[in-house]
Structure 1
Amino acid sequence: MSRNDAAPRNAAQWDEQVDLLIFGAGAAGMTTALIAHHEGLQVMLCEKTAAVGGITSTSGGTTWVPGTRLSVDAGVPDTIGDARRFLESVVGDRGGDAAREAFLQSGPEAIDELERISAVKFVAAAAHPDYVNGPGAAYGGRALAPVPFDARVLGRDFVRVRPPRDVFMGLGGMMVNRNDLNALLFPFASGQNFKRTVEVVGRYLIDRLRFARGTQLVMGNALAARLFYSLRERGVDMRFETPLVELVREQGRVTGAIVTSPDGTRKRIGARRGVVLATGGLTRHPVLRKQLFPAAAQPLSLSPDTHTGDGLDRAVKVEARIEDGGDSPGLWMPCSIQRAPDGTERVWPHIILDRAKPGLIAVNRHGKRFVNESNSYHDFVMGMLRDTGDGQSVPAHLIVDAAFLRDYGLGLVMPGRHRARIASFVRSGYLVTAPTLRDLAKKLDVDVNGLLQTVERFNRDAAAGQDPEFERGGSPMSRFNGDPAQKPNPCVRPIGDGPYYAVTVRPADLACSAGLSGTENGEVLDTSGKPIPGLFACGNDLASIFRGTYPGPGTTLGPAIVFGWRIAKFAAGRLSGQARDAHTANPDVVPLRRANG
């Protein structure tokens, strides 16, 4: 008997008991708690920090779920059959077929129910293409965006919502919808832009009279806040600053957990129907990160500092199995870093605003291009990592001319003719500039002849709107993120006269593909491939159903929500096969109490 089996044998030895005990208040954990409570289960949601949201709160919030009624509402009806064909072409024979099929079948119902019983609301994007070409790929309908949320309804609890990354907030705390970005960048370009700028900034200034930041929430922050608000309105038991210490296992079944309370005391919490791990994945686990992540991608992470892999660490101690993530253990974004004199860093993820625009190239230390710059952020970094036999593409450099910087900006440098602002980024070392490409190559420590030859070849093809080397503009996704005013190819134009500018980018994980091995119902598997009774995982704690590929926008949040929904339904006895049978395996299980309709 392991020390984990030395556990309480009856209810009297627990400090508290619930039906479902959940760790982690990101989208996955909060969805599980919300649906389980709706099904009549007694729920406790424990969060390690003082705020909800995790990676969700700092993300774009896009949620990839095929086949929903929202796609019909948006005028781009999608089908599960098309999505199935698409995933078969993207994921291929990498495994995980049963879990992906469960995701496809449950996705529409999960989204419908969330919208029906809670404040969670989405709208399907009419135009937000899948990231990979293939049969069944969609141009719109699968990417669901959370509806903006007015966080004033949270009152003093607004502080419980983790803020987004500071680089995505203006004026020290104002979130900006993508649709408003152009108006705020160019407020005097038109009367409409000026009016919208006054509305957005005015609302923010009023907010700051009461709150530490703006209350008009968008993207992932809106999704996290909507879930939190829904849990709060239902009176779900949420425990902040209550980390998981140890899983309690008796007679092979996980029956509860030991937690640390905010006052430092330890408590034993019994879980009649199971424990759910949704703690954010292994991105900052000190051992697993080194074991699984490529060396070139280990230094930088976009996940919160508190995501130290608690769920996986405790699960391994009860003999759970970890999968390596298939093609890649991480899901990536290329990021540039501005370092202040005091040592603080501002990290900018290069998502959609610059890489696909015409007139930019990415080069390695040999001055050579190595990837289609307009690929998805994940596939761009996969290109960096594949090209590291001698470390030549980590870091890489994004190179543009002055016209590009004026038209589109570059990383932290927003578009426009702001000479003083540009100069400040040059002084900080974030932006490298030179009058000639030769001089720029020397400053970047890039092979001079390699860069000159690369630009000469690129410009020759770009003059005709072509990129035979990497086919920029060859996919709906890349064209969508390009500049439609650039003809004939929205992603290609020659690099013009100097001065020239560059920022350096490095790989950073936004989430992980590696994680706990599980069933289509989120049951965690042991090292022999059998379910561990009473133990579930979802979100980044569960290995990705896409096996290291990144099919489309929101392919982490989509499964996080759907598998959170499935776990709650399974624990409540609402899915076929829910038997492993919790009712007979655990004498403390009580009959199901259906609540709230």
Structure 2
Amino acid sequence: MGSGNGALTAAIAAADGGAETLVIEKSEKFGGTSASSGGGVWIPNNRYAVAEKADDSLEDARAYLDHVTPSNTINPALLEAYLERGPAVIDYLHEHTEWVRYRNLAYYPDYFPDGPGGKTGNRSMEPEPLHASAMGEDFYNLAPQHPQTQMPGGINFTQVEGAVVLAATRGWFSLAAKLVLKYLIDFPTRLKTLRDARLTMGNAGVARLFLALRDRQIPLWRGTAMLDLVQEDGRVIGIVIERNNQREFVRARKGVVLAAGGFERNQAMREQYLPSPTNTQWSAGNLQNTGDAIIAAQKLGADTAQMDWGWWFTTATVPGKPKAYLSQVEKGMAGSITVNRKGARFSNESQNYVSFVADMIKDEANTPSYMIFDADFRQQRPVASVLIQGKFFPDWMIPKAWWTPEFLSKADSLEELASKVGIDSSGLENTVAGFNQYAVDGKDADYQRGDSSYDRYYADPEVKPNPCLAPLLKPPFYALALYPGEMGTAGGLVIDDNAQVLNEDGAVIAGLYACGNTTAALLPAYPGPGATLGPAMVFGFIAGERAAQG
């Protein structure tokens, strides 16, 4: 159940293990959250890093996860299975499929690189770009990238390219021009669709797994919702589905693998489990992720954990857009700060997004928060991927509906800006004055912004003395409203190291397996880029392999 990275990996493993395999997807488009994501997969000591002679080891990876993993939250056997099986799963997909290929991300750091076992790169991979012609007509059934992970006009870029383009650092314009040209001269595709056929990031990752699925003639039923799990004599024997407006029973002789994402689009579940305040409108997650798989398993007595946690991201709610937009890069770029309603900073804006929102949700005064920036920043940097640099997209071109305190505000002074958005003006003025001095000194005395190698990954090296700090001086001043959103929820079903779902007594629910965001997070601290897709694929593979054995 599901069609993201975890589900497709599970299907490949199950089929190769000799099981007759079926994949079902509730949406008319396949790929789930994985398809719209950055596509990164965090697996230490993977084959691509080893090929580049990266300085890493199982011992270093174990020490790193021991350091960052919250105490008494994760079954150590699951962490060990992940570290030991992860490289082998990637080897298998590389060696037993024609399609599944990744690139080493040599310079994308762990999110806590300065701790024991932390690394400044070589643990995350991104999918090799792929031209959609390999998919034929199936391309049109692939869920699109989130617009956030594209250039304006829907032009795709890789993670490496995106680090340059989104941060508008040296060489960004020539790189963007090359990508636009490549898009324009793809004449065969332009005659059929405006959608970019150079697949990257999450689209490339899902497409490559799907092609391996197709080679194995594994059916994927789109527009098929699971209504319930069916249990007989203590064992899950199948599911009830709705397809073409008809209910059907599908018998599962070997097992059922739940890989259908979390519950970020279920407001009732959000209010029951997530920190308050919470709202589906703040989510950048898949519109279909309403917790169906979790609810169905709970009916059978399945245990859950970490239901109050998410793969947090600050998000902006762009008027007229169905999904919130992620604010990953710009809030940490030199020349901007993020403050709460008191006008005060509350965290390091350049640190990883999960940790930043973890600080944000500690106090309701932080919701919403506001990214504050000046005219120079507006001219030079893109914001939330929809607000292109002012030198290309001046303020008079911004839709009138966007000028609202719930999204974007502008004023000629900090005092006036504070009044417009409803924050304390003296607090804001004092915060900006203090931060401007930090920019001159090159040292953030409050939150150490720019000290970590991760902080500097998206920074502008031409900004001195600290690439993450620049003063806010030139009016007009702007405020972008930010909310505690997420790419997906991180709580879910409890599994063992064989990916079998456990009940509240710790016993296995026979015939039921799970992986990905349907399960409780293996790596809740989000130790590196791709720390959701990595476990999803590894435990998806384990689930498929074990289910095939019956």
Query: What TM-score range do you get, normalising by the shorter chain?
Result: over 0.9
Corresponding position of 2:514: 537
TM-aligned CA deviation for residue 199 of structure 1: 3.1
User: Of 215, 223, 226, which residue of structure 2 is paired with 1:241?
Assistant: 223
Helix, strand or coil for the counterpart of 1:273?
coil
The one-letter code of the counterpart of 2:206 is A
User: Of 368, 383, 388, which residue of structure 2 is paired with 1:414?
Assistant: 388
Alpha-carbon distance between aligned partners in 2 of 1:107 and 1:179, rounded to the nearest angstrom: 23
Determine if the alignment matches structure 1 residue 30 to structure 2 residue 4: no
Alpha-carbon distance between aligned partners in 1 of 2:355 and 2:223, rounded to the nearest angstrom: 36
Deviations 1:365-385 (A, max 9, x none): 111111111111111111110
TM-aligned CA deviation for residue 247 of structure 1: 1.1
In the alignment, is the contact (CA less than 8 A) between 2:109 and 2:121 conserved in 1? yes
In the alignment, is the contact (CA less than 8 A) between 1:374 and 1:491 conserved in 2? yes
Corresponding position of 2:345: 369
Deviations 1:315-367 (A, max 9, x none): 11111111134xx5211111112214xxx456320112x12211211111111
Corresponding position of 1:564: 540
The one-letter code of the counterpart of 1:393 is N
Deviations 1:453-501 (A, max 9, x none): 1111111222110101000011110011211112221111222222212
User: Of 260, 271, 290, which residue of structure 2 is paired with 1:290?
Assistant: 271
TM-aligned CA deviation for residue 78 of structure 1: 2.3
In the alignment, is the contact (CA less than 8 A) between 1:257 and 1:269 conserved in 2? yes
Q: Note the 1:44-83 alignment, pairs <5 A.
A: 44-83=22-61
Helix, strand or coil for the counterpart of 1:130?
coil
Q: Note the 1:473-484 alignment, pairs <5 A.
A: 473-484=450-461
User: Of 389, 403, 409, which residue of structure 1 is paired with 2:376?
Assistant: 403
- How many residues matched? 541
Determine if the alignment matches structure 1 residue 86 to structure 2 residue 64: yes
TM-aligned CA deviation for residue 128 of structure 1: 0.5
Corresponding position of 2:409: 432
In 2 relative to 1, CA 414–206 (structure 1 residues): closer, same or farther, beyond 3 Å?
farther
Alpha-carbon distance between aligned partners in 1 of 2:238 and 2:166, rounded to the nearest angstrom: 50
User: Of 94, 102, 119, which residue of structure 2 is paired with 1:115?
Assistant: 94
In the alignment, is the contact (CA less than 8 A) between 2:284 and 2:325 conserved in 1? no
In the alignment, is the contact (CA less than 8 A) between 1:333 and 1:381 conserved in 2? yes
- State TM-score, norm by structure 2: 0.93
In 2 relative to 1, CA 330–447 (structure 1 residues): closer, same or farther, beyond 3 Å?
same
TM-aligned CA deviation for residue 61 of structure 1: 0.5
Alpha-carbon distance between aligned partners in 2 of 1:186 and 1:381, rounded to the nearest angstrom: 24
More displaced 10-residue stretch of structure 1: 183-192 or 331-340 = 183-192
Determine if the alignment matches structure 1 residue 451 to structure 2 residue 428: yes
Is the radius of gyration larger for structure 1 or structure 2?
Answer: 1
TM-aligned CA deviation for residue 397 of structure 1: 0.5
Determine if the alignment matches structure 1 residue 385 to structure 2 residue 367: no
The one-letter code of the counterpart of 2:319 is R
User: Of 124, 127, 143, which residue of structure 2 is paired with 1:146?
Assistant: 127
Corresponding position of 2:202: 220
Corresponding position of 1:126: 106
For structure 1, the residue ranges without an aligned partner over 5 or more in a row are 1-22, 574-581, 583-597
Alpha-carbon distance between aligned partners in 2 of 1:349 and 1:485, rounded to the nearest angstrom: 25
Alpha-carbon distance between aligned partners in 2 of 1:358 and 1:186, rounded to the nearest angstrom: 11
Corresponding position of 1:460: 437
Identity, % of aligned positions: 34
User: Of 67, 83, 87, which residue of structure 2 is paired with 1:104?
Assistant: 83
- State TM-score, norm by structure 1: 0.86
For structure 2, the residue ranges without an aligned partner over 5 or more in a row are none
In the alignment, is the contact (CA less than 8 A) between 2:267 and 2:279 conserved in 1? no
Alpha-carbon distance between aligned partners in 1 of 2:437 and 2:48, rounded to the nearest angstrom: 44
In the alignment, is the contact (CA less than 8 A) between 1:180 and 1:196 conserved in 2? no
Helix, strand or coil for the counterpart of 2:297?
helix
The one-letter code of the counterpart of 1:440 is L
In the alignment, is the contact (CA less than 8 A) between 1:370 and 1:387 conserved in 2? no
| C-alpha RMSD of the superposition | 2.4
In the alignment, is the contact (CA less than 8 A) between 1:185 and 1:415 conserved in 2? no
